[in-house]
Chains A and B, each alone.
Chain A
Amino acid sequence: MPSPGNDTSPLFAEADSSTLGLVGFVLLAVVLMVADHRGHFLDAIRREATVLAGPVYWIASAPARAGRAVHGMVVDRGRLTDENAQLRQDLLLAQARLARLTAVADQNTRLRELLDARTRLGLQAQLGELIDVDLEPFRHRVLIGLGEGDGLAPGQAVMDSRGVLGQVVEVRRDHSVLILITDPGHAIPVRVARTGLRSIAYGSGSLDSLSLPHIPFSAGVRVGDTLVTSGIGGLFPAGLPVGTIRQVEPDDSATFVLAIATPAAAMARSGEVLVLHDERLQMIDGDGMALEFVGPPEELATTPTAISATPDVEADERPAP
């Protein structure tokens, strides 16, 4: 069956497929990639152009939303009642814990006042919703429905109810792109809660594991140890849960231990997330006096390095709260 269009096209290569054309477009693409990667010249263009992306994302996430809606309708009343009861119980427990925590926090503030230490304790967060679209399978990036207008900035830490999820890498007009802690190009400074050992958890490229290479044998890391953020590097506030060690084995050189951890946060896509607000802004707000900031230099701390968001490189101790 002859298809339309072939009657006009010559038998051999068309004008548009000339090698010169290929070279031209390939060069153009390379120039664009380099410009995007090295300088951040294209950031503004990208921000403006992606305003148009909103409707596309909205349509593309429609099946997932419909799925959730159908689930809500189909799921029977009994299960909803159970779920409700469970949630009530959880809330009660959480409130009880919170009450205790408030007491402890009060005490802590008092003690800090005694010590004349003026570090922030508050953690300001903003609720955002994940948008169900796949940006790219091999880079763990997700999209949230908060953007420039909501005061987001690259480098902000993001967590869900269970632990650290990742950080903001790109802020657009009404969306932002997050890099998950499991992205192979991501690293997060952590501390083993039990022993206090500091290390770095690298993303492994699979959604259910983080890897911690080069832990000395003598550190005594065990399966089941929990990891929390160490606060080194200044991007993630200290003390947030990151994961649990799942597996410990000697590495190839047999001089170090390689530990594999399961992330605490639910890396599955749907749901709500908390975007933590930059604490430094709060610190300066304080009571009119700019506080001495101990940490990485301003321009290093918030570098929106898209791929290698490795806070460890720019690590510098800052006071843990």
Chain B
Amino acid sequence: MSLRTRSDSNVYWATLAVGVLLAVVAVPAPLLPFKPFWLGLLVIYWALEAPERMGLRNAFLLGLLGDLLAGNLIGEQALRLTIIAFIVLRLRSRMRFFPMLQQALVVFALLLNDRVVMLMVRAFQGTAPPDWTFWVAPFTGVFLWPWLFLLLDIARARVRPRES
């Protein structure tokens, strides 16, 4: 059990590191609106698979890190990730047994909700409302979700036997 947890924790930290990098890595300008909310996807995955790692507190801290890196209002991503983590943790016992399609739909709803939260924060901040491309990212996110899910599951399954 302890070995299993430890190897899992390697994957956990690796995904967070990659996620943080992906959040700021440059993509060509036309692809910018398609950039998914990587940290959000990671929080969904880990809250679903290992809630003892990704509780509200860790989601919050990850969000703070994201805020510092992205240079936006401190607390914005922290708020968004906390909300995502909360909803996932609440739905977790049901979501884990959903077929992939249904799970993807829930993820889509989560990402859309996240955009609404972001819009609210921006509105309070007094920023001009973004154009329609603002709503593209959840689609990319949900498109990537099954692949991310399978990839991380495979990675975790791979790491486990090697260490035991």
A interface residue numbers (CB < 8 A to B): 1, 3-6, 8-9, 11-14, 16-17, 21-22, 25-26, 28-33, 35-37, 42, 46, 49-50, 53, 56-57, 59-61, 63-64, 132-139, 141, 143, 170, 177, 184-185, 205-207, 268-269, 307-308
Contacts of A56 in B (CB 8 A): 20-21, 24, 69
Contacts of A49 in B (CB 8 A): 68
Known: A13-B90, A17-B51, A26-B79. A4 touches B8 (CB 8 A): yes
Question: Contact between A53 and B4 (Cβ–Cβ < 8 Å)?
Answer: no
Question: Contact between B35 and A134 (Cβ–Cβ < 8 Å)?
Answer: yes
Contacts of B69 in A (CB 8 A): 50, 53, 56-57
Question: Contact between A308 and B126 (Cβ–Cβ < 8 Å)?
Answer: yes
Question: Contact between A136 and B72 (Cβ–Cβ < 8 Å)?
Answer: yes
Contacts of B130 in A (CB 8 A): 138, 184, 205
Measured between C-beta atoms, what is the minimum distance from B66 to chain A in Å?
A: 10
Contacts of A21 in B (CB 8 A): 55-57, 86
Contacts of B33 in A (CB 8 A): 137
Q: Which of A5, A14, A135, A185 sits near B70, CB closer than 8 Å? A: A135
Contacts of B20 in A (CB 8 A): 56
Q: Interface size on B (CB < 8 Å)?
A: 57
Measured between C-beta atoms, what is the minimum distance from B7 to chain A in Å?
A: 9
Contacts of A138 in B (CB 8 A): 130, 134
Question: Contact between B21 and A59 (Cβ–Cβ < 8 Å)?
Answer: yes
Contacts of A37 in B (CB 8 A): 73, 125
The answer to the question of B75 belonging to the interface, with a C-beta cut-off of 8 Å to chain A, is yes
Question: Contact between B153 and A33 (Cβ–Cβ < 8 Å)?
Answer: no
Question: Contact between B52 and A5 (Cβ–Cβ < 8 Å)?
Answer: yes
Measured between C-beta atoms, what is the minimum distance from B34 to chain A in Å?
A: 9
Contacts of B32 in A (CB 8 A): 134, 137
The CB with the most chain A CB atoms within 10 A, among B63, B71, B131, B156, is that of B71
Nearest B residue (CB) for A67: B26
Distance between Cα atoms of A48 and B86 in the complex (Å):
30
Q: Which of B21, B25, B49, B79 sits near A3, CB closer than 8 Å? A: B49
B interface residue numbers (CB < 8 A to A): 1, 4-5, 8, 20-21, 24-27, 29, 32-33, 35, 49-53, 55-57, 60, 63, 68-76, 78-79, 82-83, 85-86, 89-90, 92-93, 96, 121, 125-128, 130-131, 134, 137, 153, 156-157, 160
Task: List 9 extra interface pairs beyond A29-B78, A33-B73, CB under 8 A.
Answer: A3-B50, A4-B156, A17-B55, A17-B90, A25-B78, A29-B60, A29-B63, A33-B125, A56-B20
Q: Which of A5, A14, A16, A207 sits near B8, CB closer than 8 Å? A: A5
Distance between Cα atoms of A11 and B20 in the complex (Å):
31
Contacts of B82 in A (CB 8 A): 22, 25-26, 29
Question: Contact between B25 and A133 (Cβ–Cβ < 8 Å)?
Answer: yes
Contacts of B53 in A (CB 8 A): 5
Contacts of A14 in B (CB 8 A): 51-52, 55, 89
Question: Contact between B131 and A25 (Cβ–Cβ < 8 Å)?
Answer: no
Known: A46-B68, A56-B20, A308-B126. A30 touches B79 (CB 8 A): yes
Question: Contact between A4 and B50 (Cβ–Cβ < 8 Å)?
Answer: yes
Question: Contact between B68 and A50 (Cβ–Cβ < 8 Å)?
Answer: yes
Contacts of A1 in B (CB 8 A): 153, 157
Contacts of B35 in A (CB 8 A): 134, 137
Contacts of A3 in B (CB 8 A): 49-50, 153, 156
Question: Contact between B51 and A205 (Cβ–Cβ < 8 Å)?
Answer: no
Would you mind naming 26 contact pairs between A and B with Cβ atoms under 8 Å apart?
A1-B157, A3-B153, A5-B8, A9-B52, A14-B55, A17-B90, A21-B86, A25-B56, A29-B63, A29-B75, A36-B75, A42-B74, A53-B69, A57-B69, A60-B24, A61-B26, A64-B26, A134-B35, A135-B24, A137-B33, A143-B71, A170-B71, A205-B130, A205-B131, A207-B29, A307-B125
Question: Contact between B86 and A17 (Cβ–Cβ < 8 Å)?
Answer: yes
